[in-house]
Amino acid sequence: MRVDLTMPQMGESIAEGTISRWRKSVGERVERDEPIVEISTDKVDAEIPSPASGTIVEIHGREGETVPVNQVIAVIETEAGAAATATPVAEAPPRAVAVAATVAAPVVAATPETARAGEFERKRFVTPVVRRIAAEHGIEPTSVPGTGVGGRVTKDDILAFLACGARPAGASRERMSVMRKRIAERMVESRRVSAHVHSVFEVDMSHVGKLRERHKSGYLDRHGAKLTVTAFLISALCGALRSFPILNASVDGDEIVYHKDIHMGVAVALDWGLIVPVVHGADQLSLAGLSVRLQDLAGRARAKKLNPGDVQGGTFTLTNPGQFGGLYGLPIIQQPQVAILGTGGIEKRPIVIDDAIAIRSMMYMALSFDHRVIDGAVANQFLATLKAGLEQFDEKLL
Amino acid sequence: MPSLVALWLGRVAYDDAAALQERLVDGRRRGVEPDRLLLLEHPAVITLGRRADPAHVLREPRELARHGIDVRASSRGGDVTYHGPGQLVGYPVVALPPDRRDAHRYLRDLESALIDTAAELGVAAHRVPGRTGVWVGNAKLAAIGVRLASGWITSHGFALNVARDLRGFDTIVPCGIRGAAVTSLEQLAGRPLDLGEVAAIAALRVAAVLGMDLVRAPELSW
């Protein structure tokens, strides 16, 4: 069945609309309610959803063209009709695509996240040459790490894989992913460049814990994000960094660059590595603002939807090696920054207060700093300031 | 009445704000996000709407970079505009109810809210027929550019000039209208204004014209 998409009336006084962008082209499939075209009228750009699921068989109107309301701008052939009418696209799909689809199917089915499905599909797309070489050596082409577009396995990849001794006994080899290689290079480089020194403080997090308890109910509804300890940490860190600007600096040749803004990198562990999205202008944000941004960045990091700008420009980094119970870790500085804070897990411990034993929620925090530009005394004063900022966190900031 | 949750975010990079809106629009569509009004200011940036004419950016990319001004494509409607510190930017992410699904009505509602905001600060602003935005005489006080995602969910919104310093606008032809000047609340009111204070008034006014209850995020200084 053919379903018409007409130029919608976007308002009572609106007689026409300008096609600003086609999201789909002839031959493409659309789902019902999926945006198919964008229409501009005055200062509004609107996404127009498809009225039906099916294949687009006709498009009328170029981008930039102004069309009266109710004029047909696209025709969608729905499922029932598609079989009967041979559409131009349905004819002779390229062989390679058909092959890729059959390989991809079981993999996609096994992957719950649709976001990753597309990537698998690209990776599983192999050229006939690669497929032939793989078949000759009795290996599954999809087991070869790909370096081509979207992780695609190229001819060079499969030859390199075979050259390095495919299927050795007693050990397995795999090519480092691009991300793994990048991490490896940067870690070693940082050790070479910076004179790493570490200092560890213990902080009583009971006060922050209480504030969080008091304010967390309803926080998600009010702000759309959970109130996390990380938000408190960043807020207190910004205060301490303001007092000790040398910790929010970088080294450029023979010069020290003091950064005006605080761009806080926050390490996020992923199943496939680690990424450090950056909360830009962290010192300008309220606690709620920080919470929303953290949730947004962490969510997009896991969904692989970070933009390049999201991971650039950090001036200080926070990492949390304590999430699996570690007391503390001594992290490596992210170049060209000069310090990084690693927090341990928070746990209840007996401590001595005024000669009495009390149970408090304690956390270790370890600062790695670059001794080229930061003296030990400054680093320890910084940590003392941060400790005080957390133990006496100002409730008014909530 | 439905609720509008207002949130003051401080200074936010354009890309970050765009990504956040995308997430909120998606969440609103799935019903896991409330109707929101994001209030913020951007670092200096020139944005080109879907129908922008690149000729309306008047400076070379290198010169803009030297002044720390970014240039970004934007998915909102409209032409070229400038954002910078001291300008109140408001992004309502609201699912328009069936009786309000009229693009022009929404633009006029935003204009009303901004005219009311200016009035509360002693500034008489008005509309100019055929030129969406808020004007005082021949000078533009606020720019409007909106996106409607499928399901009539709004994003992008308005930029209200608050601070006196408007030199950033020298780099563009605002909204593609040659010969039009820009002005600001501080210039017109003749006194310094606090951006947070203006944001608080604007939040009330936006909620009022959309027929919503304002829920203020309690951590805000206002």
- Sequence letter at residue B63: E
Q: Is A394 tagged catalytic?
A: no
Selecting from A40, A49, A296 the residue whose C-beta is nearest the C-beta of B51 gives: A40
pLDDT of B25-83, one tens digit each? 998 888 888 899 999 999 999 999 888 888 888 888 888 888 889 999 999 988 889 99
List of chain A residues whose C-beta atoms are within 8 Å of the C-beta of residue B15: 307, 309-310
Q: How many CB atoms lie within 10 A of CB A234?
A: 26
Q: Is B9 on the interface with A (CB under 8 A)?
A: yes
The pLDDT-based confidence of B218 (bands split at 50, 70, 90) is very low
Catalytic residue among A33, A137, A371, A394: A371
Nearest-neighbour CA in chain A from B102: distance (Å): 4
Which pLDDT belongs to residue A378? 93
pLDDT of A324-340, one tens digit each? 778 888 999 999 999 99
The tokens describing A113, both together, are 């996240």
Taking CA–CA distances from B17, the nearest residue in chain A reads: A293
Q: Is B205 on the interface with A (CB under 8 A)?
A: no
Question: Could you tell me the domains of chain B?
Answer: 3-216 (3.30.930.10)
**Which residues of A fall below an 8 Å CB-CB distance to B?**
10-14, 18, 20-21, 33-35, 38, 40-49, 221-224, 280-281, 284-289, 292-293, 296, 299-300, 307, 309-310, 397-398
Chain A contacts in chain B segment 119-158 (CB below 8 A): 132-133, 144-151
Which pLDDT belongs to residue A382? 95
Nearest-neighbour CA in chain B from A351: distance (Å): 33
SS3 B151: coil
How far is the C-alpha of B182 from the C-alpha of B170, rounded, in Å? Answer: 10
List of chain B residues whose C-beta atoms are within 8 Å of the C-beta of residue A309: 13, 15-16
Which pLDDT belongs to residue A323? 75
Q: Give B111-115 contacts, CB < 8 A, sequence gap 24+.
A: B111/B142, B111/B144, B112/B205, B112/B209, B113/B202, B113/B205, B113/B206, B113/B208, B113/B209, B113/B210, B114/B141, B114/B142, B114/B158, B114/B160, B114/B202, B114/B205
pLDDT under 70 in chain A at which residues? 80-125, 138, 142-143, 150-151, 164-170, 272
How far is the C-alpha of A179 from the C-alpha of A301, rounded, in Å? Answer: 13
